[in-house]
Structure 1
Amino acid sequence: MDKFRLFFFVLLVNVFCAEAQWRPAGNRIRTTWAEHMDVNNVLPEYPRPIMEREEWLNLNGLWHYSVLPAGSSAPASYEGQILVPYAIESSLSGVGRKLGEENELWYMREFEIPSSWKNRRVLLHFGAVDWKADVWVNDIKVGSHTGGFAPFCFDITSSISKGKNVVCVKVWDPVDKGFQPRGKQVDNPHGIWYTSVSGIWQTVWLEPVPEQYIEKVRITPDVDRNLLAVNVAANMQDEVDKVEVAVFDGGKKVASGAALNNVGIDVAMPADAKLWSPDHPFLYDLEICLYAHGKLVDKVKSYAGMRKYSTRRDKNGIMRLQLNNCDIFQFGPLDQGWWPDGLYTAPSDEALAYDILKAKDLGFNMIRKHVKVEPARWYSYCDRMGIIVWQDMPNGDRSPEWQPGCYFNGRDVTRSSESENNFRKEWKEIIDCLYSYPSIAVWVPFNEAWGQFKTPEIVAWTKSYDPSRLVNPASGGNHYACGDMLDLHKYPAPELYLYDGARPTVLGEYGGIGLALEGHTWEDRRNWGYVQFKNADEATEEYIRYARMLLELAKTGFSAAVYTQITDVEVEVNGLITYDRKIVKLDEAKLREINQTVCHSLDNRF
């Protein structure tokens, strides 16, 4: 009994000490989730639901950190603790300080490998690190990675030992002083440009795998042929002799397929296969098995949605977007994925799902993920809740900043070779890591004219690399006769000022109805919207007026629309929800009614 009490006493002391050493930085607004943060249980959910194994170890939590001039050696001692995975500039990191391109951020923590992982390889995963990361385990460099939005991992088997191990990460991030994709991060936040995000900002985790293991899974539904194409990449392709895929509906096996010698598998689905849609977001469960030398060596769980994204001309000659060979008006909010306390990183998994849930509650059927990439779990929530996703590539380069009222400048920029290589590398990594999520319908390589370059070439590559989805060449940007749609931006009210007879015409941004609520703003001053209102009733009526205009424009040419935006972000107060997610600012019932009318405006027309 004494040993039992001593154990819990030590445990309580450790918990108390961890919480005593960490507190949110700054005094800005916070979400309710952040107000109840548990530093000993930070984002504990499995981070990769599209390819799941049973065993893993979460390395989120308090790490040691130091900020040193770029080019310095590893610190002899560390200056404090930082809560991973929150950027150093964020409140939830417990630091809340700018890094700057002249400095590097060092992280360090200890970990132990569970004894049950003996004789297996160990992978060290990073969900995302902005921007350049160098990683050591026990003073042995295990790898480097550039890019702020895609996951990466290293095999650290040869560098680990029994007992305590030490991982160190060094990060350099030039923000808007560099030639890398960065989204809306800037060194000097103002207007539509927000606080920089540097360092680790998604879950860090360890995973045991066998000698021969499944590295990647690429799942492509084919509704017309009633097939599910599954391609499996293993770390040692020459050693693999068979892959098997089993498809389940509620625990019942309904289809299966197998292939030898690394050939892709076409799984014949049931004749009455259930299709995925926003109204019926049905997902099949998958079990994928890898065999080497006649033995089962690895197994992962996954899932898939049977759906098809395409375009078609209607009886009136208007090109329309389609889902599962039916016309659909895709309507949803611009979603930038920023948090007042975590910046790029939601304070909890419940918070991560909240904006999607509210978009669904408000009657939308689509979300445009704006110049940011989310953690894998965000896309899985879209799959399960039934929300179509338009996925932007984060903009970058040192091109001139956008000015209000200037949606495109009529010419592409000339990028340096470094900038162009960074873009191409990270765009491919983003498509690779998001490929299998059925909710993603549209790739958007450029927003407006922000760093737009070689548009026909980038669009052609994107379309050839993923023929299963549509490509929006440049949302509101320089317009070329390529890709699958023409995308216009118009603030505040919708307007069909250009029309494409060969492709669907969509309204990639409009709205921006501003309403600042005291006690829920990032700053007391500088708050703005494209139009400003003083109360919820006025703002709601203006929203409905725009939606009714959109209904009329859908009859004459628009096939989709994106309203700016789901939440306030820093000094932008044109969200439907406050930045701290505590208040839905407009009338929810009225919005849901009109939004559903817009989403179903093309139903039963053909």
Structure 2
Amino acid sequence: MTLLTPWGATLDAERVLPEYPRPQFARDSYLNLNGRWEYAITGSATEPERYDGEIIVPFSPESTLSGVGRQLQPGETLWYRRPLTLPAGFHAAGSRLLLHFGAVDQTCQVYLNDVPVGDHTGGYLPFTCDITDALREDANVLVVAVQDDSDTGHHSRGKQRLRRGGIWYTAQSGIWQTVWAESVPAVHLRSLTLTPLLDERCVEVTAHATADAGDAGIRILADGIAVAEATAPVGVAVRIPMPEVRQWSPEDPFLYDVTAELGADRVRSYFGMRSFGVGPDGDGVPRLLLNGRPYFHAGILDQGYWSDGMYTAPSDEAMIADIATMKRLGFTMLRKHIKIEPLRWYHHCDRLGMLVWQDMVNGGSSYHPLVVTAPAVTPLRLPDRGRWRRWFGRADAGGRDRFRAELRETVEHLRNVVSLAVWVPFNEGWGQFDAARIARDVAELDSTRTVDHASGWHDQGGGDLRSLHVYFRRFRVPRRRGDRRVLVLSEYGGYNLRVDGHAFSRKDFGYRRCRSAEDLAEAFTRLHTEQIVPAIRAGLSATVYTQLSDVEDELNGLLTYDRRVVKLPEEVVRQVNERLRHQRF
């Protein structure tokens, strides 16, 4: 069944996701290349003479909003082509023209005027091509060739599967985030690293540039008024004192603006003054800390799938609506599940005040059923090292190396996100390996956040959190037995309710079937009253309810897949979350 969200139903193919895609590193130079492209799918790596038709970028060809509706198979090549016409005065002599891709799933090669200008492997992270030297003064033609092994290879794939069903969803491919260009000076800033140091009442700024070009000028503003200035030598971390500090929190998501100048280059950014950590409450129980104080994370699982755009939200307003609706329902955290979103999604969490737990994207070969399903109903816990790696789909050393590389890239890519509180390297054994060591690696890369090293099961004793998934039994706080990590219930609930006219298929997957909205509301309230609220006093510090919306066969969302129906009374959810958030530590 074709399900359109309200935003997909009114999509303007001439203005597809036109907003600036990189809010924490913004320039005035911006040319959006979303919209109508030509496409073809071939069985070879040779560009076809004729293309098959039109595709709406950045929607994958498998999605409704792309206008294609065709599955790319392993061994095939998906071709994109469009003219590249620069507005008058957009690219000055001596400057560089950069072409940016938010994400392309999975491996791609980029050509301008038949000249190779870049390539990339990895379906979830951005990359940039300098296309200056291939540019012509007259007509230019941009071509992108994409291949996707999906779940037949070891690359990161998330919950995509060529044979979809249950908790595994339709595989998608190709360009799925914004494509855009900008013109920059020959010597320019590559990035900024912004690290708030709340206890020291300062922010640490590092300006990264294409060359050692002297000092960058940094200016910090609060509500448009300059509050601090400094010069930062390129590549050197500089601490800038803050005369007065307004803390960021979900209740007060205050953001400081930043401008950085290096020669002729000027960028805009922002940060929030906050700190994350773990520490004891008044009774000595380990808790998650926000700004040095215990703070309960009332979260919901957010998979970021859309009934019409799949991985790609149909509009910026659609992304905002998901976050704002969950905030209105009383949640303080979204667990971004096995997906990396466009940077605008994180920007909206920053400015609206929604904490984020960020999952790494799983990969590896096929997972042994005993690893990924048995622990849901048994206390099975397997080691994830040595000969056991093959059970987790991680026997291939190249695949493990690739995961580590993408983990580092993910941390750097999202390092400045104000709302990001927790890194989650592995979930339920999917492609898990050396999890305790990986947790230490993440902590070395980013010491400002906490780490949930193995969400759900196959706990290796690492990280900051003892992370449980409970669906098929009552939740009880386990004995600590000397474990001083923070206890979190990182998945639970999953009660499903079919809403006629808003379901993807005739199938109905969930963890408890409800007959009506009233039945769902009663079960939701009873679950939290009887099991979750008492557990908070006994040491539970965070919850992640499954889930924000239905996804394909899964009908256990608080929202339908098309985002048109909230399945139970909003006041019921708000009251439950109020009780969770205001339990006395």
Is the pair's TM-score, using the shorter chain for normalization, greater than 0.5? yes
Which residue of 6, 20, 26 corresponds with 1:46?
Answer: 20
User: How much is the aligned-residue C-alpha RMSD, in angstroms?
Assistant: 1.4
Which residue of 60, 85, 102 corresponds with 1:87?
Answer: 60
Indicate whether 1:481 and 2:461 are aligned.
yes
TM-score normalised over the length of structure 1: 0.92
Q: What secondary structure sits across from 1:359 in the alignment?
A: helix
| Same amino acid, percent of matched pairs | 43
Cα-to-partner distance string for 1:378-399 (whole Å, 9 max, x where unaligned): 0000001100000001111122
| Corresponding residue of 1:171 | 146
Cα-to-partner distance string for 1:215-245 (whole Å, 9 max, x where unaligned): 1111111001011111111012x2x110121
Q: What secondary structure sits across from 1:164 in the alignment?
A: coil
Cα-to-partner distance string for 1:46-68 (whole Å, 9 max, x where unaligned): 00001000111000011111111
| Corresponding residue of 2:383 | 411
**Equivalences for 1:369-448 in 2 at 5 Å?**
369-398=336-365, 399-400=367-368, 402-403=372-373, 405=376, 409-412=381-384, 413-414=389-390, 415=394, 416-448=396-428
1:417 Cα offset (Å): 1.6
Cα-to-partner distance string for 1:421-463 (whole Å, 9 max, x where unaligned): 2211211121111110110000000001111101122111111
| Corresponding residue of 2:533 | 551
The answer as to whether partners of 1:382 and 1:388 remain within 8 angstroms in 2 is: yes
1:482 Cα offset (Å): 1.7
The answer as to whether partners of 1:112 and 1:162 remain within 8 angstroms in 2 is: no
The answer as to whether partners of 1:113 and 1:162 remain within 8 angstroms in 2 is: no
| Corresponding residue of 1:284 | 256
Indicate whether 1:139 and 2:120 are aligned.
no
The answer as to whether partners of 2:489 and 2:544 remain within 8 angstroms in 1 is: yes
**Structure 2 gap ranges (5+):** none
Report the Cα distance in structure 2 between the residues aligned to 1:288 and 1:547, rounded to whole angstroms.
Answer: 47
Cα-to-partner distance string for 1:155-208 (whole Å, 9 max, x where unaligned): 111011113211111111011001011110000110000000100000000011
The answer as to whether partners of 2:218 and 2:232 remain within 8 angstroms in 1 is: no
**Equivalences for 1:49-448 in 2 at 5 Å?**
49-70=23-44, 72-116=45-89, 117-119=91-93, 120-236=95-211, 238=212, 240-270=213-243, 272-290=244-262, 296-398=263-365, 399-400=367-368, 402-403=372-373, 405=376, 409-412=381-384, 413-414=389-390, 415=394, 416-448=396-428
Report the Cα distance in structure 1 between the residues aligned to 2:86 and 2:457, rounded to whole angstroms.
Answer: 50
Q: What secondary structure sits across from 1:353 in the alignment?
A: helix
Indicate whether 1:588 and 2:556 are aligned.
no
1:32 Cα offset (Å): 1.1
The answer as to whether partners of 2:207 and 2:233 remain within 8 angstroms in 1 is: no
Which residue of 1, 4, 11 corresponds with 1:37?
Answer: 11
Report the Cα distance in structure 1 between the residues aligned to 2:377 and 2:43, rounded to whole angstroms.
Answer: 38
Q: What secondary structure sits across from 1:208 in the alignment?
A: strand
Distance of aligned partners of 1:545 and 1:589 in 2 relative to their CA distance in 1, 3 Å threshold: same
| Corresponding residue of 1:521 | 503
Distance of aligned partners of 1:261 and 1:124 in 2 relative to their CA distance in 1, 3 Å threshold: closer
2:97 is aligned with what amino acid? V
Q: What secondary structure sits across from 2:84 in the alignment?
A: strand
The answer as to whether partners of 1:245 and 1:257 remain within 8 angstroms in 2 is: yes
Report the Cα distance in structure 2 between the residues aligned to 1:447 and 1:262, rounded to whole angstroms.
Answer: 35
1:81 is aligned with what amino acid? E
**Structure 1 gap ranges (5+):** 1-26, 291-295
| Corresponding residue of 1:14 | none
1:406 Cα offset (Å): 5.2
| Stretch of structure 1 that moved more, 462-471 or 312-321 | 312-321
The answer as to whether partners of 2:104 and 2:174 remain within 8 angstroms in 1 is: yes
Cα-to-partner distance string for 1:286-332 (whole Å, 9 max, x where unaligned): 11111xxxxx3211000000000011112322100000001011111
Report the Cα distance in structure 1 between the residues aligned to 2:460 and 2:101, rounded to whole angstroms.
Answer: 37
Report the Cα distance in structure 1 between the residues aligned to 2:299 and 2:420, rounded to whole angstroms.
Answer: 13
The answer as to whether partners of 1:488 and 1:498 remain within 8 angstroms in 2 is: no
Which residue of 433, 436, 449 corresponds with 2:429?
Answer: 449
1:529 is aligned with what amino acid? G
Q: What secondary structure sits across from 1:488 in the alignment?
A: strand
1:355 Cα offset (Å): 1.1
Which residue of 520, 538, 541 corresponds with 2:519?
Answer: 538
Report the Cα distance in structure 1 between the residues aligned to 2:253 and 2:479, rounded to whole angstroms.
Answer: 34
2:568 is aligned with what amino acid? L
The answer as to whether partners of 2:450 and 2:463 remain within 8 angstroms in 1 is: yes
Q: What secondary structure sits across from 1:112 in the alignment?
A: coil
Report the Cα distance in structure 1 between the residues aligned to 2:12 and 2:288, rounded to whole angstroms.
Answer: 44
Report the Cα distance in structure 2 between the residues aligned to 1:115 and 1:400, rounded to whole angstroms.
Answer: 57
1:279 Cα offset (Å): 0.4
Distance of aligned partners of 1:498 and 1:373 in 2 relative to their CA distance in 1, 3 Å threshold: farther
Q: What secondary structure sits across from 2:214 in the alignment?
A: strand
Which residue of 555, 559, 571 corresponds with 2:553?
Answer: 571
Report the Cα distance in structure 2 between the residues aligned to 1:93 and 1:400, rounded to whole angstroms.
Answer: 34
Report the Cα distance in structure 1 between the residues aligned to 2:302 and 2:315, rounded to whole angstroms.
Answer: 17
1:114 Cα offset (Å): 2.5
1:259 is aligned with what amino acid? A
Q: What secondary structure sits across from 1:115 in the alignment?
A: coil
Report the number of matched residues: 567
1:213 is aligned with what amino acid? H
Distance of aligned partners of 1:409 and 1:96 in 2 relative to their CA distance in 1, 3 Å threshold: farther
Report the Cα distance in structure 1 between the residues aligned to 2:556 and 2:257, rounded to whole angstroms.
Answer: 39
2:245 is aligned with what amino acid? A
1:498 Cα offset (Å): 5.3
The answer as to whether partners of 2:509 and 2:556 remain within 8 angstroms in 1 is: yes
Cα-to-partner distance string for 1:236-255 (whole Å, 9 max, x where unaligned): 2x2x1101211111110011
Report the Cα distance in structure 2 between the residues aligned to 1:496 and 1:131, rounded to whole angstroms.
Answer: 41
The answer as to whether partners of 1:446 and 1:477 remain within 8 angstroms in 2 is: no
The answer as to whether partners of 1:366 and 1:388 remain within 8 angstroms in 2 is: yes
1:403 Cα offset (Å): 2.9
The answer as to whether partners of 1:334 and 1:566 remain within 8 angstroms in 2 is: yes
